[in-house]
A = this chain, B = another copy of it.
Amino acid sequence: MDDTVWSIGDLAAATGLTVRALHHYDAINLVTPSMRTTAGHRRYTDGDVRRLHRVLALRGFGFTLAEIGSLLDRPDRDVRDLLQHQLDQTTDRIAKATKLKDRIETILARLGDPDADALIQIIEEMTAVERSYTPEQFAELAAQRQAMWERLTEDERAELVRKREEATSRFTAEELEQLHRSRPAINQS
């Protein structure tokens, strides 16, 4: 009973995965069938199937396949940290998605019987912040900010980042993303 062996198609049907997914797990050495038939066909043993189930369980918790692999193969890492990280990421995703949802609902409410031009106009109103500057003023602003940043000490920069994050809640999603993108670039210089 314990020496039952699975073809890839049966295993795929039983787990709801695709054959291609199992091929992929094999290719990255995540779940490798212990046997092959003489024709080269994969045969999954009971142990392989147990490992696959662990993979699917962990995948359900949002771990990447790479993380799952190292968790299963070197189970000495600080699991609490990993889980905490997952939790933080998930919380963050919820917050961002919730904000986006609010904005979309706002737009839908304001939208009468619109075409795309109207949509774009409304969205631009909601996100129009920089557009009140001329390009030159805008470039000047960016340059000044950059120059100011470079005159700061490490501590002052950290303080600024904190303040920005406090102010962040009043920003639009677009600006959030832009801040997020521009910060590492600035920090590296």
Give the residues in chain B near A1, CB-CB below 8 Å.
Answer: 134, 136
In chain B, what residue has the closest Cβ to A87?
B104
A107 is an interface residue with CB less than 8 A from chain B? yes
Closest to A173 in B: B60
In the complex with contacts A14-B142, A18-B181, A107-B83, A54-B6 CB distance below 8 A: no
User: A131 — which chain B residues lie within 8 A by C-beta?
Assistant: 53
- A99-150 CB contacts (< 8 Å) to partner B: 100-101, 103-105, 107-108, 111, 114-120, 123-124, 126-127, 130-131, 134-136, 138-139, 141-143, 146
Stretch at the interface among A74-82, A151-159, A160-168: A74-82
A15 to B, closest residue via Cβ: B178
Chain B residues near A16: list those with CB within 8 A. Answer: 178-179, 181-182
Q: Which of B18, B93, B142 contacts A185 (CB 8 A)?
A: B18
Task: Indicate if the CB atoms of A120 and B83 lie closer than 8 Å.
Answer: no
CB-CB < 8 A to A46: which residues of B? 135
**A13 close to B75 (CB less than 8 A):** no
Interface: A8 (CB within 8 A): no
From A111, which residue of chain B is reached at the shortest CB distance?
B80
A65: Cβ under 8 A from any B Cβ: no
Given contacts A97-B93, A98-B94, A173-B60, contact A79 B179 (CB under 8 A): no
